[in-house]
């Protein structure tokens, strides 16, 4: 295979990964907006209304397929690119010189692996219960996601683990947001600073929003 083909193949992977990443970034905002209903003191009425809409709407069901596809593609290509980078430089330099690569960029594969671990735990506790692959706790219905959330987030270990993993998610998103736009060629002296600033705000606000939920339930409920 020629070097040119390899270069184009690598660029294609990065573009696909960028689109998948942006799709997941958009989904996180929707997911957070629904989860924030857990903070309402209405016995879960608003949250379950939103959940029922998500699990019964046919359009959402189709988007769910794209969501899992986006996760799979993003993870698979991310691992492939990282392995290719490792193979391209099999020996680390004896003395590490100064690099313009950001801290978040250097550890994307590590934060990604941690987030993947979280997703497995999260889907096992919520989504797979809906399919019946994992039995819910006694007294909790298969689609009673409000009670399951209350039970899980009332557990100090799970709540703290969830919060810590949201910190890693923030690290991952900080670079991912900017990298996606850069990969798609949307670099401009006028807009790039705005994109970087928006990415920083996003990578703090969204994980913080998710982290506030278990902490609120654990401490105040």
**pLDDT score, position 5:** 42
* Claim: this prediction has a pTM higher than 0.75: no
d(CA 61, CA 130): 13
**Residue ranges of the domains in the chain?**
3-90+103-220
Reduce the secondary structure of 35-56 to three states and give it as a string.
HHHHHCCCCCHHHHHHHHHHHH
- Is the confidence at residue 137, as pLDDT, over 80? no
Residue 118 CB neighbours (<10 A): 17
Handedness of CA 134, 135, 141, 145 (dihedral sign): negative
Between 130 and 111, name the one with better pLDDT.
111
Least confident of 3-7, 81-85, 160-164, 198-202: 3-7
Place of tokens 């690290």: 171
| pLDDT tens-digit map of 170-187 | 888 887 888 777 777 776
d(CA 42, CA 45): 6
Do residues 169 and 119 lie in contact, with contact meaning Cβ atoms separated by under 8 Å?
no
Is 60 exceeded by the pLDDT of residue 132? no
Give the mean pLDDT of the chain. Answer: 76
What is the per-residue DSSP string for the chain?
--HHHHHHHHHHHHHHHHHHHHHHHHHHHHHHHHHGGGGSSSTTHHHHHHHHHHHH-HHHHHHHHHHHHHHHHHHHHHHHHHHHHHHHS-S--SS-----S-HHHHTHHHHHHHHHHHHHHHHHHTHHHHHTSSPPPTT--TT-HHHHHHHHHTSHHHHHHHHHHHHHHHHHHHHHHHHHHHHTT---TTTHHHHHHHHHHHHHHHHHHHHHHHHHHHHH-
Confidence (pLDDT) at 32: 93
Q: Domain 3-90+103-220's class?
A: mainly alpha
Find the mean pLDDT for residues 17-42: 87
- In this prediction, residue 69 carries a pLDDT of 77
Q: What's the whole-number mean pLDDT along residues 41-52?
A: 90
Residue 151 confidence (pLDDT): 84
Q: How much is the pLDDT for 189?
A: 73
206 — pLDDT class (breaks 50, 70, 90):
very high
pLDDT in tens, 90-107: 555 444 444 445 555 666
Instruction: Give the C-alpha separation, 43 to 74, whole Å.
Output: 36
Q: Which range has the worst mean pLDDT, 31-40, 95-104, 111-120?
A: 95-104
More confident residue, 196 or 130: 196
Please tell me the predicted confidence (pLDDT) of residue 133. Answer: 52
């Amino acid at each position: 295979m020629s070097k040119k083909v390899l270069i184009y193949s690598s660029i294609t992977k990065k573009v696909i990964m960028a689109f998948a990443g942006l799709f997941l970034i958009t989904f996180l905002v929707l997911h957070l907006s629904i989860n924030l209903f857990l903070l309402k003191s209405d016995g879960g009425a608003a949250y379950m209304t939103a959940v029922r809409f998500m699990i019964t709407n046919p359009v959402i069901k189709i988007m769910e397929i794209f969501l899992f596809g986006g996760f799979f593609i993003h993870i698979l290509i991310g691992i492939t690119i990282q392995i290719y980078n490792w193979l391209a430089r099999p020996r680390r330099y004896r003395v590490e010189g100064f690099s313009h690569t950001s801290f978040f960029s250097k550890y994307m594969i590590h934060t990604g692996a941690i987030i993947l671990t979280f997703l497995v735990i999260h889907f096992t506790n919520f989504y797979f219960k809906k399919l019946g692959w994992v039995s819910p706790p006694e007294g909790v219905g298969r689609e009673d996601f409000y009670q399951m959330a209350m039970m899980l987030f009332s557990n100090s270990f799970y709540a703290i683990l969830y919060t810590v993993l949201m910190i890693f998610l923030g690290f991952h998103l900080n670079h991912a947001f900017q990298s996606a736009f850069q990969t798609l060629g949307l670099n401009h002296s006028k807009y790039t600073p705005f994109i970087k600033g928006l990415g920083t705000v996003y990578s703090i606000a969204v994980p913080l929003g998710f982290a506030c939920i278990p902490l609120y339930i654990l401490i105040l409920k």
